Copies of this chain bind each other. A is one copy, B any other.
């Protein structure tokens, strides 16, 4: 309204941050912002959320796309926890117990609005980081699970077949979609995540054993790689 007077102590006294801190702050807020508004949203909107002017963004990132790339890295790469993989291979515990532990930990990371929306937005944009992420899930999560399962069932070691990977994907995707329904569509009726995961794993293990014994890999069609 009028010019600020001395009594108005609320003047933000805009702080001047060192380059590295400011940059990290920008990325973190950009994750929130783009997750909520989509990547088509304006850099001016982001600047407003940051409490700075829009051209300042260009001192830290050469272009909007470069900023978005950093957002991808921060979400996809930095949040992947390396302890997940050894956990799945720890044969001291029964597989279904390992699976329960893993999926509870994994969903602790990815079941949040930010992660989910960034994932869906970037998927629709067709950026290849999504394809790479799914390859990671397949190679580091699903295929190890299938190998462990064969041992658990007392079956001989065989290379995993494509249809087995797809079967594991269906379980994985079912759990994932539970998070989507919860965080994106807001239409989950039972908030008992642990139970949903546990039930999904029971079905997966039962289904997989039936599947492996019904059409065993050795007698089935040879796998085209």
Contact = CB atoms under 8 A, between A and B. Distances in A.
Given A124-B117, A203-B203, A170 B165 contact: no
Nearest to A116: B124
Interface in A153-178: 162-163, 165-167, 169-178
Contacts of A177: 169-170, 172-174, 176-177
A187 interface: yes
A123 B190 contact: no
B186 A131 contact: yes
A202 B207 contact: yes
B184 A211 contact: no
Contact of A206 (B135, B165, B173, B203): B203
A190 B165 contact: yes
A86 to B, nearest CB: 25
A162 B189 contact: yes
A74 interface: no
A67 interface: no
Interface stretch (A3-11, A43-51, A55-63, A193-201): A193-201
A170 B185 contact: no
18 contacts: A38-B40, A123-B184, A131-B185, A166-B188, A166-B196, A169-B174, A170-B200, A171-B203, A172-B177, A173-B176, A174-B174, A174-B177, A176-B177, A203-B204, A203-B206, A203-B210, A203-B211, A207-B207
Task: Give the top 7 A-B pairs by smallest Cβ distance, nearest first.
Answer: A203-B207, A173-B177, A174-B174, A170-B174, A162-B190, A206-B206, A40-B40
